[in-house]
Amino acid sequence: MIVYNISQLTKVYGTRTILDIPLLEIEKGLIYALLGPNGAGKTTLLNILGFLESPSTGNILFRSHPVRFSETFLQPLRKSVVMVEQHPILFTTTVQKNLEFGLKIRRIPTKERNQIVKESLDLVGMRNFAQAQAHRLSGGETQRVAIARAVAANPEVLLCDEPTSSVDPENQVAIINILRQINDLKKITVIFTTHDRSQVTSLAHHSLFLDHGKLVGSPSENFYGSNKS
């Protein structure tokens, strides 16, 4: 199943074209790495895929349905697609309450909510930090809690902007393993940006390379030789 079908997409700021993508398809349940130099348009593309930013022109189908970039239409879609920022911001409260916040908005009952929080923190190896103050966590711990918070929302697609760029080597390895488990166990489509080609080889099913806003090569081609099938 194709989760995103994009055609003739552009994003223009003033006289500068940030993105120019004639065709892009993202298949459900796979991991995609998005590479390219700084300023290539990677974060802008993630924001559009996350329905946080509208394209200047083009068509986007999500689960075969046309996307209209109006707040009323986009709000339900944002429950299906969750973004984890490069430098995530957590509420200045406990880790558990950070994860509970979105679940309360969705009116999930307390018992079910507690179970979801436990399972999500287990998945990222942070269950023992449930009562820790989130603003006192290290960079790597913060990133892992942010991923847990995203997974707790039970998204269909998880977008991660440079998820390992600001963490120590130990947490880099942990986060890559976490993303792999999220995909394996929950069948969530994962799209992440990175400059690390070794992460592409070890994690991604497919790679997309942006250069000056254009995709280089076939969108389905694995540019860096990932051995995943």
Residue 221 lies in a domain: no
Pick the closest to residue 213 from 20, 6, 9, 15 (CA basis).
20
For the segment 8-43, what is each residue's pLDDT rounded down to a tens digit?
A: 999 999 999 999 999 999 999 999 999 999 999 999
Residue 9 lies in a domain: yes
Instruction: State whether the Cα torsion 91-129-143-125 is positive or negative.
Output: negative
Question: For all residues of the chain together, what is the average pLDDT?
Answer: 92
For the segment 66-81, what is each residue's pLDDT rounded down to a tens digit?
A: 999 999 999 999 999 9
Residue 36 lies in a domain: yes
User: Quick check: helix, strand or coil at residue 219?
Assistant: coil
How many domains is the chain partitioned into structurally?
1
Domain of 19, in residue numbers: 2-215
pTM score of the predicted model: 0.92
User: Quick check: helix, strand or coil at residue 65?
Assistant: strand
Sequence length of the chain is: 229
The Cα 211–Cα 20 span in angstroms is: 10
Residue type, 28: K
Residue type, 206: H
- What dihedral do alpha carbons 155, 34, 57, 6 form, nearest 10°? -60
Q: What percent of the chain has pLDDT over 70?
A: 94
Residue 89 lies in a domain: yes
Read off the CATH number of the domain in which 39 is found: 3.40.50.300
